[in-house]
Amino acid sequence: MTTMTETTNAARFREFKMPDVGEGLTEAEILKWFVQPGDTVTDGHVVCEVETAKAAVELPIPFDGVVHELRFGEGTTVDVGQVIIVVDVAPGSGDAAPEPAPASAPVQDEPEPEAPKGRTPVLVGYGVAESSTKRRARKGTETGPPAAAATAIQGEMNGHGTAAVSAVPETRPLAKPPVRKLAKDLGIDLATVSPTGEGGVITREDVHAAATPAPAPEPVRAQPQIPAPAAAEDSPPPAVVASMGARETRIPVKGVRKAIAQAMVGSAFSAPHVTEFVTVDVTRTMKLVAELKEDKEMAGVRVNPLLIIAKALLVAIKRHPEVNAAWDEANQEIVRKHYVNLGIAAATPRGLIVPNIKDAHEQTLPQLAASLGELVSTARDGKTSPAAMAGGTVTITNVGVFGVDTGTPILNPGESAILAVGAIKLQPWVHKGKVKPRQVTTLALSFDHRLVDGELGSKVLADVAAILEQPKRLITWA
């Protein structure tokens, strides 16, 4: 029977759960709390900043009241749907209060949650905390001689030796469905994979690591804990331990960095990349940039070579729309995009992100300049939203700002092509039959060979180069 006190508590204290601030994200890290217990909040009041796998996002609370409890501290990764803050929406109405959750663990819906024995999730910088993720009990799998033999063979193939047999768990390895599919595609037995995910969960990186033969000796990983005998003979043991301890720093892989790693590995192992290069004289483009800076129609927006390069790529896509497509593996279809969401790779303090300009093909040059400026400014401030990074079709990465001539860029997942722009340098160039100093750069176009044949990719890259060499083609080809 529900008592009056329990009813009062439910009405007085409201819980705010970690929302899905992106598209299908499963967790977020609390970067900073802007409120503390006892603070008054109103509907729309920003209570904390969290970092997802895509961006840093501020969370507003949807009701008024007084903060009663913060369930998690800063630096803690919380699953979507878990309570992060409790608010007293009727302060002063009574002494009833909800039973506070343990500081080190989120509130559990079940009175006696079961946790797999022998697993203590530890993340550097987080401390030890019980996982709030509830999983159904898994049935044990028998490991007889045939299974042990298969495990041994798989371990040898992965370069980990027969020692993997003794490490076979008695229960089914923990892994998400996409990771299990990846392991199946690569021919990897999950029982031979050492998990690095929180709570003993096997990640995509673990599977790829298992698929790559490991070097026979790995002394570096073992030395910080157990100094090798040879090192002890060369120098006193204390000096060796202190020296090795200062030579390495362990940084937990999370947030944007984790997303970058997963995206790049997924793209590199799923899309067959082809990269083509062209070196082009962009002297006329640089003159156009200088002229546009003085044009009153471009007042208030930033004009730079990237603007003209972006417009050149959009014109090339208009001339060759087949390049603007995506590969649908599940349905075995090629999806032609009749719009261009132009991604711009941006280096931020949190790592590389690729926000995109929606419907960039419909924008005029001044509009495109304004969109580029806003995109870059927002990215540098760390305020890029997950929605701004979703739905890209093609991308530009400007490695030239670092003085690099060119590169072989990896496709952003789900996209068909990425254009790398190298540094623009004054170089000797044959112009009108004479060697003259000209502004020259190198372009590199990587594309998904499932979607884009060599001929199509070459035509797109050649068109971009031709426009940069003769910018008037922006008018004649538009």
User: What positions carry a catalytic annotation?
Assistant: 449
Q: What is the SS3 assignment for 7? A: helix
376 to 240, 355, 381, 410: CA distances (angstroms)? 46, 9, 9, 21
User: What's the angle, vertex CA 325, arms to CA 320 and CA 327, rounded to 5?
Assistant: 145
> What is the dihedral sign for C-alpha 411, 412, 416, 419?
negative
Is the dihedral angle over the CA atoms 180, 391, 313, 289 positive or is it negative?
negative
- For the chain, how many helices (H) and strands (E)? 13, 21
Q: Quote the CA–CA distance of 357 and 368 in Å, as a whole number.
A: 8
Placement of tokens 């949807």 in the chain: 62
Q: Do 346 and 375 touch, CB atoms closer than 8 A? A: yes
β strands within 52-120, DSSP E:
56-60, 65-70, 77-79, 83-88
Contact 68, 38 (CB under 8 A): no
Contact predicate 171/141, CB 8 Å: yes
Amino acid, single-letter form, for residue 328: D
Read off the tokens for 199: 């709570």
Residue 471 burial (10 A CB sphere; 0-12, 13-18, 19+): buried
Give 220-235 as a DSSP string.
HHHTTTS--HHHHHHS
**Rounded to the nearest 5°, which phi and psi values hold at 180?**
-65, -40
